Structure 1
């Protein structure tokens, strides 16, 4: 990437409107030097995509299957999962797809799902929730924390033997650009002492994902597992339309398609050689984790948060 292109890319990223919109994606795509992953790049590989019943998850599943992977659509609602599977097969009748139930907020559901898998080459943690009010799971954890942080951590820990099989497994956490406005809530990860707001809770847990990525990369490196977090920009998905209707109405003409939002996840899963582990990505480029003043946490706080999460899922 030339110096002028790098400057333009950075300007797009910092202005948000330019970089997160469909125009940012389309401008950057013209400058990608290596092109798309090769056809058949994932032949013989197994990919798991959580929250694959619509939007970004469905688009990621379609993209990975288009590159030859056997894709497991891990969904909370089986009926909606079957609808997504039918939509993908309508476009690609030969797609190798498997539908499975898994609720990332419930440990028993996670354990039952993990027990069915013997090999996993790609694990995409895409499942997400944005509750209007603070809600606790049956295990007593705040729902966004359970779904975005604790559940993915538990599932990956349980799948470590399956991820080891390939020697080049990749774990991808679907974050959000909204995390840039949030500090790491290491002192109140369960949102017990501060006034709850759904959008803020969502963004706080996305900040947690991004801050934990380097530590998880270190933790799982010996297993041959690389770890990446990324954000998709502003994508037009059912989740955005339902959870953020005003934002969706105001930004509609600027929103990316689900496939455009999913692009970096598919690229991280399939490009060769594997991108550097432990980084945060957007539009196929490593991005800074901190932009606004006061959002860079002490390293000790990140370690403390990881310790809390490992204790919460019963793993050290």
Structure 2
């Protein structure tokens, strides 16, 4: 027991000090602790079908490759079919490409209809697609684009695909960001219509929304036997970080995780047996606090109000 207690204490210390825990230092230390869970078994996803959104670069590309290596048939849900073809050629297993813009709810509905008509039963969805617009940008439906891509699109796509997911002990993973710790749930201004627009703030607000809606989504999709997770990849070197946060990338570059390290916990959540308990925020194969010292955490009433807005905006029954 003593080594495991010490390992948990070290893990917690890494988490609370942020920089070591979120960087490749934390990943390297944790994977050598006795509390590190075993890797998914080779071939554990043979015959399984997994959707990965935003699979043409960064964490999405790494996730698609890792899942394919475990035997999954990976369904690449992407905006650019040509980029998807390049990724598909590198995967060790079969894949199918579906064109979809997660920020456009009409495109989401079209993609879901195609998957329902022609796709197989699904065992998992990884919502990895992301964006950080340099200026306030609206989706075709008039919503702030970060919120549309990170929250509205994933909720709608999952809801529409429930017939393909139900009864299969399916798993849904939303990829979040550590930036959400710095923001509260934007209940009063979900579309960021007030004040001066700041891209990192918009991004973090949408990611906080993902985290705070976990209890609601978990309850909503539980009758279909779906476990829902939010996964924090730590600080990873991806094209999105380089393009959107060049100063952060330059300062933290030497200690940023690579894409494979950032995607590790997503792959583990999809492949681990037995299925991990749903409903948590995960990083480095362990559940993490959704807020530190109560800062920026949401109340149950705030979650319900935010969910009502999301349901109305996405066009689903709340």
Aligned-partner Cα distance in 1 for 2:215–2:302:
13
- Pick the aligned partner of 2:105 from 104, 107, 118: 107
1:136 match: 138
Give how far 1:99 is off. 1.6
Aligned-partner Cα distance in 1 for 2:11–2:60:
26
* Match runs of 1:33-52 below 5 Å: 33-52=36-55
1:82 match: 85
Large movers: runs of 4+ above 6 Å:
none
| Long gaps (5+) in structure 2 | none
Does residue 160 of structure 1 match 2:158? no
Q: 3-state DSSP class of the match of 1:281?
A: strand
Q: 3-state DSSP class of the match of 2:213?
A: helix
Does residue 56 of structure 1 match 2:59? yes
Q: 3-state DSSP class of the match of 2:171?
A: strand
**Corresponding residue pairs, total:** 310
Contact 1:213–1:279, Cα closer than 8 Å, also in 2 = yes
Residues 1:39 and 1:108: Cα distance change in structure 2 (over 3 Å):
same
* Match runs of 1:115-126 below 5 Å: 115=113, 116=115, 117-126=119-128
Give how far 1:241 is off. 0.7
Contact 2:36–2:285, Cα closer than 8 Å, also in 1 = no
1:309 match: 310
Aligned-partner Cα distance in 2 for 1:252–1:30:
23
Give how far 1:294 is off. 3.4
Aligned-partner Cα distance in 2 for 1:214–1:106:
25
1:283 match: 284
> Over residues 216-239 of structure 1, what are the superposed CA-to-partner deviations in whole Å (9 max), with x where a residue is unaligned?
111111101000001100111111
Contact 1:215–1:278, Cα closer than 8 Å, also in 2 = no
Q: 3-state DSSP class of the match of 2:308?
A: helix
* Match runs of 1:224-239 below 5 Å: 224-239=225-240
> Over residues 253-307 of structure 1, what are the superposed CA-to-partner deviations in whole Å (9 max), with x where a residue is unaligned?
1011100000000000010111111110000000010115531211101011111
Aligned-partner Cα distance in 2 for 1:160–1:282:
26
| Long gaps (5+) in structure 1 | none
Q: 3-state DSSP class of the match of 1:295?
A: coil
Aligned-partner Cα distance in 2 for 1:217–1:293:
22
Q: 3-state DSSP class of the match of 1:2?
A: helix
Contact 1:214–1:277, Cα closer than 8 Å, also in 2 = no
Give how far 1:194 is off. 2.7
Contact 1:103–1:109, Cα closer than 8 Å, also in 2 = yes
* Aligned-pair Cα RMSD in Å: 1.2
Q: 3-state DSSP class of the match of 2:276?
A: coil
